[in-house]
């Protein structure tokens, strides 16, 4: 295994204390769903306005270490022609890039999917590196019901992800591994913990077999949550304990850092659960957030797609980032935060 100190420098910068990562890596179609919330049509101009407001918000560099972008976003820029990657770098925020190309059915395994995107990946990485990207994200989808996930599907996805991670590190880019255990379903937190533990164990067993440098990567994990259809939702303390038990059973201590996806939680719930995890004290890995909708939704609702609301929307974005920064330190008090819902 070839060690690359620059990867460790990037990991350390991304996992800086009190900072997190904004996942603004929606595909063009998913960005349209965000814009629907404020009754804007899904066209290139509205997507560009949406991202420009996010990335130019005053003060966010105090709370964000990185932003994950989509291909078309990294290749886009501000109204004055500044590429988004250059804009973020100028603010001390590291650009990242989503590189998987979505999922396909896993033949013979009903209800399971495998992630695609290895074709021409090295060439794509070289282009993204030239555009300023220094980390990347690849997502695998882990659904839960009575019979899935199967080990076969977890193993197939892990091999794909290991190959992605090998190529990323070869190209000087930190791979972020995202095994997302889907929140939708009627499963309880015990089942969620067992599935999440198994998925991450298989993932890292595969990483080690394929000689991926664990210090030069970041895990992007779900929190351990009962399904959204389960009648009794868990407390933040129960979620924190289940999540950290999972990590200690499955994540090697050499891993460079762990970030959380919000995974369908409301903005406030995602922040409260992060806070409960941080209150359990220091762990073998630095831990922070990498939220998408949980950060963008309050911003979008404040903006409403109206130019006259731009300042208020950016202030809301700063507030959400600050509250999650506090949560990474166990210092968030939801009873005093009337803005997050």
Query: Which residue numbers are catalytic?
Result: 178, 220
The residues facing 218 across adjacent strands are: 176
Residue (of 328, 220, 321, 246) closest to 280 by Cα position = 328
Pairing of strands 103-105, 113-115: antiparallel
Q: Which uninterrupted H or E stretch holds 205?
A: helix 189-209
281: left (phi over 0), alpha (psi -120 to 50) or beta: left
By residue count, the chain amounts to 341
E strands in 143-281: 174-181, 218-221, 258-260
Peptide bond into 149 cis (omega under 30): yes
User: Helix, strand or coil for residue 284?
Assistant: coil
């Amino acid at each position: 295994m070839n060690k690359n100190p620059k990867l460790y420098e990037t990991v350390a910068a991304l996992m800086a204390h009190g900072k997190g990562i904004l996942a603004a890596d929606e595909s063009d179609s998913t960005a349209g769903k965000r814009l629907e919330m404020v009754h804007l049509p899904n066209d290139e101009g509205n997507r560009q306005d949406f991202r420009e407001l996010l990335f130019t918000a005053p003060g966010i560099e105090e709370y964000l270490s990185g932003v994950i972008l989509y291909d078309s976003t990294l290749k886009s820029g501000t109204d004055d022609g500044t590429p988004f990657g250059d804009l973020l770098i100028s603010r001390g925020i590291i650009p990242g890039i989503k590189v998987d190309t979505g999922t396909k059915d896993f033949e013979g395994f009903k209800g399971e999917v495998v992630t695609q995107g290895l074709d021409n990946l090295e060439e794509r990485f070289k282009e993204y590196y030239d555009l300023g990207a220094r980390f990347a994200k690849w997502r695998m989808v882990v659904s839960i019901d009575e019979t899935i996930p199967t080990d076969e599907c977890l193993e197939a996805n892990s091999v794909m992800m290991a190959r992605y991670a090998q190529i990323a590190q070869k190209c000087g880019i930190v791979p972020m591994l995202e095994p997302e255990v889907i929140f939708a379903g009627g499963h309880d937190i015990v089942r969620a913990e067992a599935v999440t533990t198994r998925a991450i164990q298989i993932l890292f067993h595969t990483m080690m077999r394929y000689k991926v440098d664990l210090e030069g990567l970041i895990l992007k994990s779900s929190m351990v949550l009962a399904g959204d259809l389960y009648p009794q939702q868990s407390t933040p303390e129960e979620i924190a304990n289940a999540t950290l038990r999972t990590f200690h059973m499955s994540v090697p201590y050499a891993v460079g850092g762990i970030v959380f996806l919000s995974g369908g939680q409301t903005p406030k719930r995602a922040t409260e659960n992060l806070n409960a995890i941080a209150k359990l004290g220091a762990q073998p890995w630095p831990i922070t957030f990498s939220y998408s909708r949980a950060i963008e939704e309050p911003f979008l609702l404040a903006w409403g797609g109206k130019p006259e609301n731009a300042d208020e929307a950016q202030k809301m974005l700063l507030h959400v980032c600050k509250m999650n920064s506090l949560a990474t330190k166990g210092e968030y008090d939801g009873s005093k935060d009337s803005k997050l819902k």
